[in-house]
C-alpha cells in the first residue's frame, strides 16, 4: 500500500490547482505556472484546499503511479510557491564562472571557454568573492529541470579525487585519494 500516495497535498494561499477533462493538472502560484499530464487511470481530486490522488486498483502499476503522481504534484505546489535552488561550487586554480547576459561562461581548465545557455524557466547567478570559491546558483520552479541543469553544469568538470578540483554541489563530500609517493 502506498503511504506517500495516500497523503493529501495542502494548497497554500495564492495557489490554484485545476484538473482538466483530459487529466492535465495545472498548478499556478506567485512564482509561475506548471502543468502535468497524469495517467488516465489515476484520479486527482481538489477539495477543501487539498489535492488528493486516488488509484482504481491495487495492481503494481497503479500502486507505483499513485505515489509518483502525488510526489510530482507536491513538488509542483512547492515550486510555484517557494521555488527550487541548487548551489554549485567551482574549485581549482584558474577555474572561473561569469554571466554574460543569460549565458554562463565557464573556464574549467580546458583550452577553450565553455558557454552554457540555460533553458527557459531557469535563472543562473554567479557569486565571486576574493579568497573564496566561486558559487553558481541555479534557480527555478520546476524541481526536475533545476536538478537536471545543475547536473549538466557539474558534468562539465566533475570533482576529481586527487586534488578535489572541479565543479561540485555546495556541501558535497568528495572522497580523496592519496597520490603517488616519491621514489627512493
C-alpha R_g of the chain: 21
Residue 82 DSSP SS3: coil
Q: What is the pTM of this model?
A: 0.88
Residue 56 DSSP SS3: coil
**Residue 77: all three cell numbers together:** 505546489
Which residues on neighbouring strands pair with residue 182, listed in sequence order? none
Domain residue limits, the chain: 3-81, 84-169
> Residues 148-162: pLDDT tens digits?
999 999 999 999 999
Average pLDDT over residues 111-124: 95
Average pLDDT taken over every residue of the chain: 92
Q: Is pLDDT above 60 for 1?
A: no
> Residues 69-94: pLDDT tens digits?
999 999 999 999 999 999 999 999 98
Q: Would you state the CATH architecture of domain 84-169?
A: Alpha-Beta Complex (3.90)
Q: Out of 3.90.930.12, 3.40.50.10800, 3.30.230.70, 3.40.50.150, which CATH number does the structure's domain 3-81 have? A: 3.90.930.12
Of 43, 65, 39, 70, nearest in space to 54 by CA: 43
In this chain, the answer to whether the domains covering 3-81 and 84-169 adopt an identical fold is yes
pLDDT value of position 12:
85
Alpha helix segments (H runs only) across the chain: 3-6, 60-81, 143-155
pLDDT value of position 129:
87
Mention every residue, 6+ apart, whose C-beta is less than 8 A from residue 86: 137, 138, 146, 147, 150, 169
Amino acid at each position: 500500500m502506498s503511504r506517500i500516495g495516500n497523503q493529501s497535498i495542502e494548497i497554500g494561499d495564492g495557489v490554484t490547482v485545476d484538473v482538466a477533462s483530459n487529466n492535465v493538472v495545472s498548478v499556478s502560484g506567485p512564482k509561475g505556472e506548471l502543468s502535468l499530464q497524469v495517467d488516465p487511470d489515476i484520479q486527482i481530486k481538489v477539495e477543501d484546499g487539498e489535492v488528493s490522488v486516488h488509484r482504481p486498483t491495487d495492481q503494481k502499476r497503479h500502486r507505483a503511479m499513485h505515489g509518483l503522481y502525488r510526489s510530482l504534484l507536491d513538488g509542483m505546489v512547492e515550486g510555484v510557491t517557494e521555488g527550487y535552488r541548487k548551489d554549485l561550487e567551482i574549485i581549482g586554480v584558474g577555474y572561473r564562472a561569469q554571466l554574460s547576459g543569460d549565458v554562463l561562461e565557464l573556464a574549467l581548465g580546458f583550452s577553450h571557454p565553455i558557454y552554457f545557455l540555460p533553458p527557459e524557466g531557469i535563472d543562473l547567478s554567479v557569486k565571486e568573492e576574493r579568497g573564496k570559491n566561486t558559487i553558481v546558483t541555479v534557480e527555478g520552479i520546476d524541481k526536475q529541470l533545476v536538478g537536471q541543469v545543475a547536473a549538466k553544469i557539474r558534468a562539465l568538470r566533475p570533482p576529481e579525487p586527487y586534488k578535489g578540483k572541479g565543479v561540485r554541489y555546495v556541501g558535497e563530500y568528495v572522497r580523496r585519494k592519496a597520490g603517488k609517493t616519491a621514489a627512493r
